[in-house]
């Protein structure tokens, strides 16, 4: 992957409501649950997850802050983007600041899914200095990681603009973070693949190796066991496997690590019969060529397991 990428394309606001920052006050109990992207955690789960993260950091026993900042000190601060990117994780950051300072007031300048330029304010905060300082790292850890995933996803989405393909994630996620990382993919304009092993059938190369390569038997067994209506997908490395999957009645074929000419041939054979997905070593340099094969989906593990954190920082005003 190249170290330089062009700026993300700006996303124009769709309504006046989308460009009016919302303000979260101490009395606003719904602040952490509001999201046009359907934030995957309930208010209770969000609170518990953030509490555990703050305890891990001993944020409630922040010796440095207690020693240097008086408890009555009020300040204004802002989380600011250091680079262009797409924001994700706002509800978690809000919860971190509110747990350390229930009286904090927060103005949300960039909701999840918003594309921001370097220098843009994401959150503006007014409250106790101690709470902001102690919550800072946990809030930024959530925002930087999830925004990094959203940003990298958006770059892939932009790279295939005008084609029929969609960008999919995979199950290559950080243990315990899957629902949040897949949410960040949606924030970046991507599409979620199956959430877990139970929610979809994907017959992979090792499944086939374990049963002697019998695609027809694998598909038949999957149909017999899965909930009716569950799509059955087969991973294919060769054109012969593609033909076997089609003959077996698969709904979806995963075209893995195929050379461009072989991929185009495979997509042509599947056209109008099954959903096609390409995977394997996809990069920003190659994704456009893959999309131009006519494939329906392109799955990329890197958007979750290798996305660099988006550089965000907390700047204080008036200390």
Q: Which position among 76, 107, 137, 171 bears the catalytic label?
A: 137
Task: Return the number of other C-beta atoms located less than 10 Å from residue 12's C-beta.
Answer: 8
- Going by C-alpha positions, the residue among 122, 94, 76, 171 that lies closest to residue 310 is 122
- Selected catalytic residue, list 101, 158, 235, 296: 235
182 is catalytic: no
- The verdict on whether 56 is a catalytic residue reads no
Cα distances (angstroms) measured from residue 62 to each of 211, 269, 317? 56, 62, 21
Catalytic residue among 111, 158, 181, 256: 256
Tell me the C-alpha distance between 79 and 59, whole Å. Answer: 18
Q: Is residue 269 annotated as a catalytic residue, yes or no?
A: no
> Residues 34, 51, 204, 221: which is the catalytic one?
204
Which 3 state secondary structure label does DSSP give 135?
A: helix
In this structure, which long-range contacts are made by residues 241-245, counting pairs with CB atoms below 8 Å and at least 24 apart in sequence? Answer: 241/215, 242/266, 242/269, 242/270, 243/269, 244/215, 244/216, 245/215, 245/219, 245/274
Please, are residues 87 and 94 in contact by the beta-carbon 8 Å criterion?
A: no
Euclidean distance between CA atoms 312 and 78, whole angstroms: 10
Residue 287 · residue 168 · CB < 8 Å: no
Token code pair at residue 61 = 């026993």
Catalytic residue among 34, 172, 269, 288: 172
Enter the tokens of residue 297.
């989906």
For residue 258, give every residue at least 6 positions away whose Cβ sits within 8 Å of its Cβ, in sequence order, or none. 237, 266, 278, 280
Which of 144, 174, 254, 159 minimizes the C-alpha distance to 208? 254
d(CA 124, CA 221): 55
165: which residues sit within 8 A by CB, 6+ positions away? 290, 291, 295, 296, 297, 298
- 188 with 88: CB under 8 angstroms? yes
- Catalytic positions are 137, 172, 204, 235, 256
């Amino acid at each position: 992957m190249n170290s330089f990428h062009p700026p993300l394309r700006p996303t124009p606001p769709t309504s006046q409501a989308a460009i009016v920052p919302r303000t979260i006050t101490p009395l606003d109990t719904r602040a952490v649950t509001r999201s046009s992207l359907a934030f995957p955690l309930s208010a209770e789960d969000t609170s518990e997850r953030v509490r555990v993260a703050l305890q891990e950091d001993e944020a409630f026993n922040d010796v440095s802050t207690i020693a240097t900042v008086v408890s009555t000190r009020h300040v204004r601060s802002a989380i600011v983007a250091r680079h262009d990117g797409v924001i994700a994780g706002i509800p978690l950051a809000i919860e971190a600041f509110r747990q350390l300072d229930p009286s904090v007031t927060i103005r949300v300048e960039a909701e999840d899914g918003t594309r921001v330029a370097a220098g843009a304010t994401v959150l503006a905060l007014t409250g106790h200095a101690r709470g902001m300082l102690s919550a800072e790292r946990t809030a930024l850890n959530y925002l930087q990681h999830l925004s990094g995933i959203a940003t990298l996803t958006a770059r892939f989405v932009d790279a295939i603009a005008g084609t029929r393909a969609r960008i999919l994630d995979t199950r290559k996620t950080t243990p315990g973070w899957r629902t949040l990382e897949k949410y960040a993919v949606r924030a970046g304009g991507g599409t979620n693949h199956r959430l877990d092993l139970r929610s979809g059938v994907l017959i992979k190369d090792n499944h086939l190796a374990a049963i002697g390569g019998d695609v027809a038997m694998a598909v038949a067994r999957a149909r017999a066991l899965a909930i009716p209506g569950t799509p059955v997908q087969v991973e294919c490395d060769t054109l012969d496997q593609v033909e076997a999957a089609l003959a077996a009645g698969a709904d979806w074929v995963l075209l893995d690590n195929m050379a461009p000419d072989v991929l185009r041939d495979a997509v042509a054979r599947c056209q109008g019969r099954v959903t096609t997905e390409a995977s394997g070593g996809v990069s920003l340099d190659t994704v456009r060529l893959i999309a131009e094969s006519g494939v329906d989906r392109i799955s990329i593990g890197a958007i979750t397991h290798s996305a660099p954190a988006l550089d965000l920082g907390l700047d204080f005003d008036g200390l």
